């Protein structure tokens, strides 16, 4: 089975711009979670989608949003980028009823 | 206070040493416990997964969970230079709550 894929792998943006990141889960997995990883804060939970519905949300401002499509692929969007949004954005998928999550390679975002 | 505490290290050991990595947590509702390994500039890779208290062994790796002390451990026997990575503990409450709560990660270097 192919693993979780994320595109793009690297991205450079400037303050004020917006960005969309994409995640394709493992085939058959219907739950997709997003995390932000920074050296200072570690891995922080952004949100989780299951069957196109946001089921859980972390403590991030409304500039961070996401969605999930009927094929379980997910996108997250960050509007009005700030320097502090520079991070590795990780997507993880899991099958229904499973507690373990499998991570993709991440998208490294640099905001200048 | 973070819900999951993990000593960030760094930890440096010679090849062949036994490595002990630990996390403590505060939320007694956590039931599922995981260890992930993350190489530099990669996504976290699931290493071990345990439910509730007890031990689980997989090759050179042993995971221990002590729910009464809210303490989990990962032991690596006969450590190899290829084990050099950041090790993240993670846990969740189970059921439909898909969010994982992570420790900050311990950076391990195994030198030949």
Give residue A47's pLDDT: 93
Percent of chain B with pLDDT over 70: 96
* Token couple for A98: 């499973």
Residues of B in contact with A4 (CB under 8 A): 43
Which residues, 6 or more positions from B80, have their beta carbon under 8 angstroms from its beta carbon?
A: B15, B110
**In chain B, what residues touch A94 (CB-CB under 8 Å)?**
98
Closest Cβ–Cβ partner in B42, B96, B102 for A42: B102
Residue of A nearest to B43 (CA): A105
Residue-wise pLDDT for B17-72, tens only, equals 999 999 999 999 898 999 999 999 899 999 998 988 889 999 999 999 999 999 99
Say what the alpha-carbon torsion angle A67, A9, B48, B12 is, to the nearest 10 degrees. Answer: -140
For B46, other C-beta atoms within 10 Å of its C-beta total: 15
What pLDDT, in 10s, does the model give residues A60-100? 999 999 999 999 999 999 999 999 999 999 999 998 767 78
Chain B residues near residue A50 by CB distance under 8 angstroms = 96, 98
Over its C-alpha atoms, chain B yields an Rg (Å, rounded) of 13
Position A8 pLDDT exceeds 90: yes
Any chain A CB within 8 A of the CB of B103? yes
Question: For residue A42, what is the nearest residue in chain B, using CA coordinates?
Answer: B104
Q: Which of A38-42, A55-59, A86-90, A95-99 has the highest mean pLDDT?
A: A86-90
A35/A57 Cα distance (integer angstroms): 11
Instruction: Quote the pLDDT of residue B52.
Output: 83
Longest Cα separation, chain B: 44
Contact B18/B79 with Cβ under 8 angstroms?
Answer: yes
């Amino acid at each position: 089975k192919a693993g979780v894929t994320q595109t793009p792998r690297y991205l450079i943006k400037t303050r004020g711009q917006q960005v969309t990141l994409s995640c394709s889960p493992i085939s058959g997995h219907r739950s997709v979670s997003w995390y932000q990883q920074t050296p200072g804060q570690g891995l922080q939970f952004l949100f989780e989608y299951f069957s196109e519905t946001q089921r859980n949300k972390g403590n991030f401002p409304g500039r961070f949003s996401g969605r999930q499509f009927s094929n379980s692929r997910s996108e997250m969007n960050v509007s009005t980028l700030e320097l502090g949004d520079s991070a590795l954005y990780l997507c993880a998928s899991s099958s229904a009823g499973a507690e373990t999550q499998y991570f993709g390679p991440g998208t490294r975002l640099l905001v200048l | 206070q973070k819900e999951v505490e993990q000593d960030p290290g760094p930890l440096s050991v010679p090849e062949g040493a036994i490595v002990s990595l630990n996390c403590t947590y505060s939320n007694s509702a956590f039931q599922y416990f995981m260890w992930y390994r993350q190489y530099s500039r990669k996504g976290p890779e699931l290493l071990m997964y345990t439910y509730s208290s007890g031990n689980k062994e997989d090759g050179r790796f042993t995971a221990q969970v002590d729910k009464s002390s809210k303490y989990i451990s990962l032991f690596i026997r006969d450590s190899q230079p290829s084990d050099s990575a950041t090790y993240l503990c993670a846990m969740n409450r189970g059921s439909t709550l898909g969010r994982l709560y992570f420790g900050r990660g311990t950076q391990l270097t195994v030198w030949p």
